[in-house]
Amino acid sequence: MIPIVYNARSMMQRPVSSSFTAVGIALVVAVFIAMLALGQGFRAALARTGADHNAVVLRKGADSELSSGISRETARLLASSPHVATGADGRPMVSPEVYVLIPLPRPRDTTSVANVVVRGVSEQAWIVRNNVQVIAGNTLQSGRLEVCVGRKLLGRFDHLELGATLRFGGRDWNVVCHFSAGGSSFESEIWAENEQVMPVFRGDFFQSVTFRLRDPGAFDDAKRAIESDPQTVVDVHRESAFYAAQTGIAGAMLSALAIAVTSIMAVGAIFGAVNTMYAAVGSRTPEIAVLLTLGFRPWQVLLSFLAEAVLIATAGSILGALLALPVNGIVTSTTNWSSFSEIAFSFRITPVLLAIGIAFGLVMGVIGGFFPAWRAARLQVVQALR
């Protein structure tokens, strides 16, 4: 085999050309990873929002909490269902919740508002819903106009600090705590006591009831039993599936954007790789002739030049991955059109994503290097030495 050292040194001999190509590949890989991370963060925020061991109940036909309505009576019936798990305190792990959207003005641009979720909850919500924890301040007290603010809202809107007064729905609410929820969409919400939220907004009914399944494996049985009960006209969803499905349009759009942008950039980067490699082959024709004369086979020459392309692509891909890394954790927001609410999420780069990005870069290098390498291999010695 032609020693790889030959390719490595040859690459160094054209430092500007090789590095330009590598940087071109790096940029594409970086953008690719960043876009994947954007989509991943968005999906993760929604996916982490639900657990497999919980079920969400909405009114039949409603596709989001926003359009649902569940009476107190129905909530009571659900709480007494045998499919509901019992908590350590002996009470059913059931959380009836109110779901409304309030307009909060954006601090930097007072003309525009964001629709933020206010969720009316009971104490059970903190136990039933996944991973929710108060990280600062005191828990909500019953009977008070108090709110607990999700972590991701902090800094993006005014009057959310501990002790501040937030005005909405014609009332003044006290900010008593901040909470985290494992990076899920709950972190973009404001929680208050459901009995306080109800009269202010939509009347004497809840929007959803979430409960812990006694037997997570028996979800289908629970679903059938509850849905066929004529007294409760509802749909039962597994909590994880429900929120995952909400990525819907926004998720599709992000994916579409990612694919379109990256493909076009990739095309450009591949051309760069092809150009570099063709030039490399062209300027080294006599060397190739010598190699062939010495007895190396054409396929070895092909592999050799392909390896060189891959070397450049590897350098570029790793650089691209490094360029993309700082993006990790940056918080951005958009509207989840399924629930019409604003959801904040962070770019999320995982090792898998980096690996995909680097692999993508290598593929670009291979594709770009193939035809020039092919040409090198097909060189006739006689031609080359002329």
Partner 1 sequence: MRFFPLVLANLGRHKIRTTLTILSVIAALFLFASLRSVLTTLRTNAQFGGARRLVTLNATGLVFTMPVSYVNKIKSLRGVHSVSWSNWFGGRYGDGKVFFGQFAIDPESYLAMYPEVVMPPEQKEAFIRERTAAIIGQRLAERYGWKIGQDVTLQGTIFPGDWTFTIRGIYTPTNPAIGDDAMFFHWEYLDERVGRWGQAGWFIVEMDSAGAAGTVAKAIDDQFRNSSTATKTGTEQAFQASFAGMLGNLSLLLGFIGTAVVFAILLVTANAMMMSANERTGEVAVLKTIGYSDRTLFGLVLAEAGLIAIVGAVLGLGTAKAFYPLVKFNGFGFLPGFNVTTATMAWGALIAVVLMIASGLVPALRAARMPIIQALRKVE
DSSP string of 237-278, one letter each residue: EEHHHHHHHTTHHHHHHHHHHHHHHHHHHHHHHHHHHHHHHH
Q: Select from 122, 198, 202, 255 the one that contacts partner 1 (CB under 8 A).
A: 202
Query: Should residue 96 be labelled a site residue for partner 1 when binding is judged by CB under 8 A?
Result: no
State which H helix or E strand residue 43 sits in: helix 15-47
Let me know: does 78 contact 237? Beta carbons within 8 Å. no
Which amino acid is located at 135 in the chain? Answer: I
Does 134 participate in binding partner 1 (rule CB under 8 A)? no
Tokens standing for residue 374 = 């092919």
Q: Could you write out the DSSP letters of every residue in 188-217?
A: GEEEEEHHHHHHHTT-SEESEEEEEBSSGG
**Contacting residue, 6, 20, 205, 374, with partner 1 by CB under 8 A:** 20
Those residues whose C-beta lies under 8 Å from the C-beta of residue 93, and which sit 6 or more positions away, are 84, 85, 86, 87, 124, 127, 128, 211, 212
| Touching partner 1, residues 322-351 (CB under 8 A) | 332-335, 337, 340, 342
H or E element: which one contains 309?
helix 298-324
The answer to the question of residue 272 lying near partner 1 (CB under 8 A) is yes
Task: Please identify which residue in 52, 63, 161, 287 interacts with partner 1, judged by CB under 8 A.
Answer: 63
Per CB under 8 A, the list member of 283, 293, 350, 383 interacting with partner 1 is 283
Least CB distance from residue 219 to partner 1, whole Å?
22
**Which DSSP string do the residues of 135-179 spell out, in sequence order?**
EEE----TTS-EEEEEGGGBTTBSS-STT-EEEETTEEEEEEEEE
Q: How far is the CB of 265 from partner 1 (least distance, A)?
A: 6
Contact range with partner 1 by CB under 8 A, out of 62-70, 182-190, 355-363, 376-384 = 62-70
183 versus 316: smaller Cβ distance to partner 1: 316
Q: How far is the CB of 103 from partner 1 (least distance, A)?
A: 5
Q: Counting contacts by CB under 8 A, is residue 268 touching partner 1?
A: yes
Which span (123-131, 145-153, 261-269, 300-308) binds partner 1, by CB under 8 A?
Answer: 261-269
Look up residue 4 and give its two tokens: 């790889």
214 makes contact with partner 1 (CB under 8 A): no
Q: Does 309 interact with partner 1 (rule: CB under 8 A)?
A: no
Euclidean distance between CA atoms 139 and 161, whole angstroms: 15
Report how far apart, in Å, the C-alpha atoms of 315 and of each of 22, 151, 265, 358, 362 are.
6, 39, 18, 10, 9
Asked whether 68 and 207 are in contact (CB, 8 A), the reply is: yes
Q: How far is the CB of 124 from partner 1 (least distance, A)?
A: 25
Q: Site for partner 1 (CB under 8 A): which residue of 33, 37, 66, 313?
A: 66
CB closer to partner 1 out of 64 and 247: 64
Collapsing DSSP to helix, strand or coil, 334 comes out as strand
Q: Per DSSP, what are the bridge partners of residue 179?
A: 134, 150
Is 284 near partner 1 (CB under 8 A)? no
Which residue number, 45 or 128, has a Cβ lying nearer to partner 1?
45
Residues in the site for partner 1, rule: CB under 8 A?
A: 16-17, 20-21, 23-24, 27-28, 30-31, 35, 38, 59-64, 66-67, 100-103, 106, 109, 111-115, 168-170, 200-202, 249, 252-253, 256, 260-261, 264-265, 267-269, 271-272, 274-276, 278-279, 282-283, 332-335, 337, 340, 342
